[in-house]
Structures are given as C-alpha cells and as structure tokens.
Amino acid sequence: MRVLVAMSGGVDSSVAAALLAGKGHEVVGATMKLWGGASDSGCCSVSDVEDARRVARRLGVEHHVFNFTDEFEAGVVDPYVSAHLAGLTPNPCVECNRHLKFSAFLDRALRLGFDAVATGHHARVGRGRDGQARLLRGMDAAKDQSYVLSCLTARQLDRVLLPVGETTKAEVRRLAAAWALPTAHKADSQEVCFVAGPRGAGSRRRFLEGRAELHAGRVLDVATGEQLGSVPAVELVTVGQRRGLGVAAGGRRFAVEVDVAAGVVLVGRETDLAASGVALSERTWVGEPLAEGSAVLAQASAHGRPFAAVLGAGGLEFLEARRKVAPGQVVALYVGDEVVGSGIASRAAA
C-alpha cells in the first residue's frame, strides 16, 4: 500500500511512519505548513519540519512540505477568532482535523495516487460486520485522542491508518529509542499552535488583540445582579471558568454565562453550573445517525470524563445532572469504545 504519512515532527507520527515502513508499505512523509504567523512553538514550526525531515532520512523515505496556510487560516484561525468574539469556546484541534489533516491533506494524497494517509493519533480504525470503517478509542486510555477525531466520517476513515493507536505511549517512546529516531525524547506539544507564548489567557489575548477589538466586561452575580468585579476582555471568558474573573471575595465563583454583546459575565456557585442536558448543532455521524432515545457516552473535552446521556431531537439529555458544557465545545458521542459522532454545544435548550 502507498501511504502518505502526516509527519508533524513529533514522536508519535515518527513511529507511525516507522511502523508502516517496517510492514512493507511504500511510505512517503509530508509535513503540513499550516501557520505563517509569529508562533514557532506549535505543531508546524520550523524546528518541527526539520525534525520530521531528519526522521524521514533515518527511515530512508521521501519527505515533503505541503503549504496549507490559506486553508488553515480560513478553516481554523478565522473560526477560532469568530468563536471568541461570540463568547463561545472553540476547539481548533478538532477543526484542524476536520478541515486540514483529513480533508485538504487527504484530498491531496488521493490526487497524488496514494492509497491512504496515516497520522500519529492515539486512536484506532476498525471495521464493522458490514466492512464499514469505525473509529475506536486508542489502546492507551491516558493518551486517547479519539475525541479530536470525532468529526470524521466512515468515508474518510476508510482511507486512514492510525498505527500508534494500537499501542501505548510508553511503547511508542521505547520503539523510537530502539530505532534511534531523532524525536524519541521530544516532549509532546501542548499549545494551540498558532498562539505564541505560554498557555493561558495572556497569550490568547495578545493573539486576538492583533485581529479584533476586545472589550472589558462587567462581572455580575447570577442570582442578585450585583456587580462583583470586571474582566479586561469578556471575549476570553468561557463558561465554567473560575480563575481570572475579577471577583475578590465571597467564595469560589464560576462563569455561568457569557454575553459578549452586553459586555457581561454572570457568575455563581458551582451548583449554578448544573445542567440536565446540552443542545447540539453541526452534528456529524461517523456512519448512520443514531435514533432518538439511543443511549450514548458523551465527552466534552479531549481528556474529559465520559458521562451517560440519551440522544434527543435537539441534543443530549444527561442521565445525571452535571456541569454545563461550554457553548462552542465539541461533544463526542460514544457507544462503548466506538465514536459514533459528535456535535457542537450551543446555547439553545436541549
């Protein structure tokens, strides 16, 4: 099989390429240049390109660089900014997979005559009894990345290989060291790749200020309407946030609702975040849509704890009250270890 491997310059994609080459596949590596801005700390920096090239040389395979900066700007960066300006919580990694890695990159691979693409994600592609591709959690529960792939369809997965999803991260590191790959001891990337600097609201604020006007906001008590403080940028507050709300006293307070248009953040106790469901927009199904009333496990962040829910016409009904899902967040839907689909949390009633 002729496989184009998306080599990010990290250890997982390096080992993915090595595993496939070791199985006799015709492997070619390609690194996507996604971001042309100031950050050089994410998944497509100059140093990452060079690391990928060094690994390819070590494996004796071709390596190319594909420029997708325009597609990345339109499909990931612009929606990220727009989400913040609307008071939503974006997930750029999911959108990068949706629009770049398994759309633009996959399309180019097929046009170039490749049979499949491969990445270093910790998830698995299986087959149902009907032969249709299925998306499963990775073998290493602590490193499972099926959540960020929950936007994919069976048609896409039919041309996708995820070699490291069958093993653990510790084994990936061991193999990389045994094969003397240059990335064997490289730390995992944790940042949003186009936001320069350390993680946190400060870096996001500097990035957004270069693209849009941010506004100070009043922090009001959700029960009384009393003003308790202020925030320098209401666009940076997310539902469920506790730190950085400008509330000096009165016990722990959480952002319960963000109204950018009004310049208001409503805060309350943790109990004020309790919800019985979540409305979902932009639903995507891996295969056939589940029927209303179907029992699912839902996951609202990359490493969040799954919770039981029932699929309704407008979204999910939780079997037990839990913390509200921040509007804008991707909610992945599972049946057992299989991803069946996903949606985006909205402000509407479920």
CA 250, chain centre distance (Å): 35
Which residues have a catalytic role annotated? 96, 193
Helix, strand, coil percent values for the chain (each to nearest 5): 30, 30, 40
Count of domains observed in the chain? 3
Helix (H, G, I), strand (E, B), or coil: what is residue 259? Answer: strand
Cβ neighbours of 342 (radius 10 Å): 26
- Residue 284 CA to residue 24 CA, distance in Å, equals 34
**DSSP secondary structure letter of residue 264:** E
| Sheet with 62-67, side-by-side order of all strands | 62-67, 26-33, 2-6, 116-118, 160-161
Q: Which domain holds residue 260?
A: 215-268
- pLDDT tens, residue by residue, 237-291: 999 999 889 887 667 899 999 999 999 999 999 999 999 999 999 999 999 999 9
pLDDT at 200 over 60: no
Q: What is the DSSP pairing of strand 338-346 with strand 274-285?
A: antiparallel
Q: What is the CATH number of the domain that holds 44?
A: 3.40.50.620
What pTM, to 2 d.p., does this model score? 0.92
Q: What is the CATH number of the domain that holds 250?
A: 2.30.30
Mapped to the 3 state alphabet, what secondary structure does 87-114 carry?
CCCCCHHHHHHHHHHHHHHHHHHHHCCC
Q: Are residues 49 and 167 in the same domain?
A: yes
- pLDDT tens, residue by residue, 88-144: 999 999 999 999 999 999 999 999 999 999 999 999 999 988 889 999 999 999 999
Helix (H, G, I), strand (E, B), or coil: what is residue 4? Answer: strand
Q: Are residues 28 and 97 in the same domain?
A: yes
- pLDDT tens, residue by residue, 154-176: 999 999 999 999 999 999 999 99
Of 236, 268, 300, which residue sits at a domain end?
A: 268
- pLDDT tens, residue by residue, 30-79: 999 998 655 444 555 678 899 999 999 999 999 999 999 999 999 999 99
